[in-house]
Amino acid sequence: MTGDGSPAEQRCEKSLPALFEPFTLRGVTFANRICVTPMCQYVAEDGHAVDWHMAHHGRFSLSGVGGACVEASGITRTGRITHGCLGIYLDSHIEGLARIVSLYHAQDIPVGIQIAHSGRKGSAAVPLDGAAPLAQHDPEKAWQAVAPSAIAMSDGWPVPHALDEAEILSLLDKFAAAATRAVRAGFDFIEIHGAHGYLVNSFFSPISNKRNDRWGGPDPEHRARFPAQVAEAVRAVIPSSMPLLYRTSAVDGFDDGVTIEDTVVLARILGSSGVDLIDCSSGGIIGPSGRAALRPSPGYLVPYAERVRRDADMPTMAVGLIVAAQQAEDIVSSGQADMVAMGRQLLDDPNFAMHAARELGHPNPYSLLPESYRFFLERRKL
């Protein structure tokens, strides 16, 4: 490469790996296909971001990723999983979130936020304290969790309150209010947390939703009503240029749970409800989020992203033990997913994107990094 290494110039290069091709959803272009996956840090103070969040996102904002998504942020106080979770239910949360946004925007990286309600998995201790229900761990700090049906998440967990019609409609308003705050904070996209057994997922799963009103029923189409209404409520209050993502648990991992066929139905419905991309995770309807039909191994969830992309004709993001450059390149170049979301590998190696660019023969890997690093690294002679 003889020019300035600008993204425009790189796109002209024939040798650019597929992982480093830009990707556009509505009005937002990700410079490459690597996205920081949402990762709860459990250190928020009354839902507010703290210095740790700035340091955590600071690492990734300087690393050349194509995009990033801030951790699950509660749309209500009791919609957080733990007392350490971020919130987006007060206007006072906006300032800290906007500081995270500005870290990424300073590097021209689109950043989104995952808006979430914990449902029957809420009122838990933070993982470092064992993630047990607060009702056991610290009863004074516990709250009444809610769900589509009064069914406990698993043995030892409190029975949640089954939401009535008015409460369900009120939660749709809270999702919309959270989305409005996300727009005010400057986020480029929003992801609805529809996975891991939390409220939205619990409406879609037949394991946790036994309702026989319009919010439930035997068919995936009926159980998709709440997820779709959340998507419509959010879409109605965000700019048309703003992408809306939806993280799904593509399979529950239990015989009587959500199947990939159900998820294809859901994805089609969500596509008609204003969702632009399905982020395909799995599990969590009972017990920890990792519980899935397949044992975790590198790329074990990629087939779900591939299936949804093909059968629902929706862009997808793959996630789950994506740990190596060639693996990520193969997922994108073979059309299994449009983007890869990465978590623990980025904790292990925050500069993964640049390292992957180098390994995959990107013509100018250091061009991914900010000028203050690039200038010196390009001139370093080993």
Ligand X SMILES: Cc1cc2nc3c(=O)[nH]c(=O)nc-3n(C[C@H](O)[C@H](O)[C@H](O)COP(=O)(O)O)c2cc1C
Q: Which residues of the shown chain bind ligand X in the complex (CB under 6 A)?
A: 37-40, 71-72, 114, 193, 195-196, 247, 281, 319-322, 342-345
By beta-carbon proximity to ligand X, the closer residue of 61 and 345 is 345
- Report DSSP letters for 51-115, one per residue: HHHHHHHHHHHTTT-SEEEEEEEESSGGGSSSTTSEE-SSGGGHHHHHHHHHHHHTTT--EEEEE
Residue placing its CB nearer to ligand X in the complex, 22 or 343? 343
Query: Taking the complex as a whole, how short is the minimal distance between the CB of residue 222 and ligand X, in angstroms?
Result: 24
Min dist CB 314 to ligand X, Å, is 18
Position 259, amino acid = T
CA distance 201 to 249: 7
Report angle CA 201, 259, 339 to the nearest 5 degrees: 70
Judged by beta carbon, residue 203 or residue 366, the one nearer ligand X is 203
Distance CA 373, CA 46 (A): 36
| Helices 302-311/260-272 angle, 10° precision | 50
198 is known as an active-site residue? yes
Helix, strand or coil, per DSSP, at residue 282: coil
Q: At closest approach, how far in Å is the CB of 153 from ligand X?
A: 16
Give whichever of 171 and 200 is closer to ligand X, judged by the CB atom.
Answer: 200
Query: Least distance from C-beta 72 to ligand X, angstroms?
Result: 3
Residue 182 to residue 79: CA distance in whole angstroms: 16
Minimum distance of ligand X from residue 364's CB (angstroms): 26
Closer CB to ligand X, 114 or 263, in the complex: 114
* Residue type (1 letter), 268: R
Burial tier of 275 (Cβ tally within 10 Å: 0-12, 13-18, 19+) = buried
Tell me the residue nearest to ligand X as measured from the CB: 343
How far is residue 365 from each of residues 150, 174, 352, 356, 369, measured CA to CA in Å? 53, 43, 11, 8, 8
CA angle 346, 349, 351 (to 5 degrees): 90
Candidates 42, 89, 104, 198; catalytic one = 198
Catalytic machinery residues: 198
